[in-house]
Amino acid sequence: MIIVTAGHVDHGKTAVIQALTGMNADRLPEEQRRGMTIDLGYAFLPMPDGSRLAFIDVPGHEKFINNMLVGVSHARHALLVIACDDGVMPQTRDHLEILALLPLLSLTLVLTKIDLVEPPRQAQVLNDALLLLQSHGLEAAGVFPVSALTGDGIDDLRQHIYGLSADPADEQQLFRMALDRAFTVKGAGCVVTGTLISGQVTVGDALYSSAQQGALRVRAVHAQGQETPSATAGNRVALNLAGTDSNRPPQRGDWLSSIPVPPPVNGQWW
């Protein structure tokens, strides 16, 4: 299962994930230097049943809204993070408008930085947030006031997350995965990452990219941050692929599926 974040810049999305998982989702040196998420970040939380839940942390700055869209585009669960000192801000509204278009199973409201405000301010921000959700026809699956600095409320939020469930119907469909990263690893070749939207994938499977016509063979699978022979819908997946076209290797925005790409018409696929 995957949970995405949403919310204005500097409202504590990355800090909440780190408090929950112990992992810093800001992986880029520039992000760590600036203290601001620029691209998608990832972290994993062990679940009571032995599985692992994946978080996709998205940037909150308006300049990186395209990266945010890549991260949440196929979300089923989301954390809307609002800082109590700032309250509802422009990207709070922008991100919520995007989430309102998605077939979410749950939207959890997380009020951060409660250590910086008095109870009346926290109550005001909660009221504003609930009115904002109501204006989009949404309800919060839970409301959690937290402080990533002191740890207040983090255990309650973690227990709530343990109780969320994936949509089993997604596993019964054909394999589909949208790519949010593609890169080359020395000695391994092409590696792509993304959210497995539907179906399953197993080492040895033949997949097809929207960017090329030939089949790609799955050499290795990582799901939820661990090597595994297979992965199912709702997993955060990295695939090592063989057979990629050197003239047009897979890249962010491409699709992988189990359905062969039809031949081009007059040299084009559209």
Q: Are residues 83 and 205 in the same domain?
A: no
Task: Using the 3D structure, point to which of 166, 196, 227 is the last residue of a domain.
Answer: 166
Please state the φ and ψ torsions of residue 9, each to the nearest 5 degrees.
-60, 140
pLDDT of residue 269 exceeding 50: no
**Would you state the pLDDT for residue 211?**
76
CATH number of 212's domain: 2.40.30.10
Residue-range definition of the domain harbouring residue 73: 2-166
Q: Are residues 104 and 17 in the same domain?
A: yes
Q: Are residues 71 and 177 in the same domain?
A: no
Task: Using the 3D structure, point to which of 110, 132, 166 is the last residue of a domain.
Answer: 166
Domain count within the chain: 2
What would the pLDDT profile of 170-228 be if each residue is shown by its tens digit? Answer: 556 889 998 988 999 988 889 999 988 889 999 999 999 887 778 899 999 999 888 99
Quickly tell me which residue has 């930085």 as its tokens. Answer: 113
Q: Are residues 27 and 156 in the same domain?
A: yes
H-helix or E-strand spanning residue 154:
helix 154-162
Interaxial angle between packed helices 13-21 and 154-162, expressed in degrees from 0 to 180 and rounded to the nearest 10: 80
Q: Is residue 192 part of a domain?
A: yes
Q: Alpha-carbon distance 223 to 102, whole Å?
A: 23
- The model's confidence at residue 58, banded by pLDDT at 50, 70 and 90, is very high
Q: Are residues 114 and 193 in the same domain?
A: no
Contacts of 220 (CB under 8 A, 6+ apart): 188, 203, 227, 239, 240
Q: Are 4 and 72 in contact (CB under 8 A)?
A: yes
Mean pLDDT in residue range 240-250: 83
